[in-house]
Structure 1
Amino acid sequence: MLGLAFAMAAQPGGGQPAGAQSAIMNIVPLIFMFGIFYFLLIRPQQKKAKEHRSLLDALKKGDQVVTAGGIHGKISAIDGDVVMLEIASGVSIKITKGFIASISKTDK
């Protein structure tokens, strides 16, 4: 018990107790790991989501698109969050705008 009291006491030079310095040194690796996760996982994911949002905002009638399910089609109408997609001549389907993955480069 007496040894514990000496371990928690201030250092002779007036510095911090040994326990406080150890606690700070245990936090440094956690901060370093968070930085790695932020730059390798969180930041690229946020950037990709921002690009997808701007793609969806720029959609207009007549664009050739590809859905997340792989369906290719031409936008025939946009009504808020719902898109009418013409997948064949005279065949249109309704899809949610968020499921459009990309704008197709081919014009058929």
Structure 2
Amino acid sequence: MLLATQGGGSPWVLLIFYVVVFGGLMYFIAIRPQKKEQKRMAALLSSVEIGDSVITTSGFYGVIIDITDEDVIVEFGSNKNCRIPMKKSAIADVEKAEVE
């Protein structure tokens, strides 16, 4: 009889507490950093200009020579005939052109 009265709480309250704690933990570990990264990439892609050096998601280095709303034309290597249109989302990193 003594053991039954020492529990003190409902198992539902404890379950709800754990769900809230784990939900908050998942938000701060998984969801929040992902949203920050998405905002950073959106800002990066919106700041792309003609003449910027870019690295694509496939690892190619190139220079942007034309921009539309969703696409860019990137020139790869020293060969001026190697121009490839691609989506802006294929850009992984941007290095701004130096102003002379």
Question: What interval of TM-score do these two structures reach, taking the shorter chain for normalisation?
Answer: 0.7 to 0.9
Q: Indicate the residue corresponding to 1:65 in structure 2.
A: 54
Q: Indicate the residue corresponding to 2:16 in structure 1.
A: 27
Question: Aligned with 2:17: secondary structure?
Answer: helix
1:44 and 2:38 equivalent?
no
Give 1 or 2 for the bigger CA radius of gyration.
1
- Asked whether the equivalents of residues 52 and 96 of structure 2 are also in contact (C-alpha less than 8 Å), the reply is no
Aligned residues: 89
Amino acid at match of 2:86: I
Structure 1 unpaired stretches of 5+: 1-17
- TM-score with structure 1 setting the length: 0.75
Q: C-alpha offsets along residues 47-98 of structure 1, whole Å, 9 cap, x if unaligned?
A: 0110000000000000000000001000000011110000033110011001
Say what the alpha-carbon RMSD is for the aligned residues: 2.0
- TM-score with structure 2 setting the length: 0.81
Counterpart pick for 2:83 among 83, 92, 99? 92
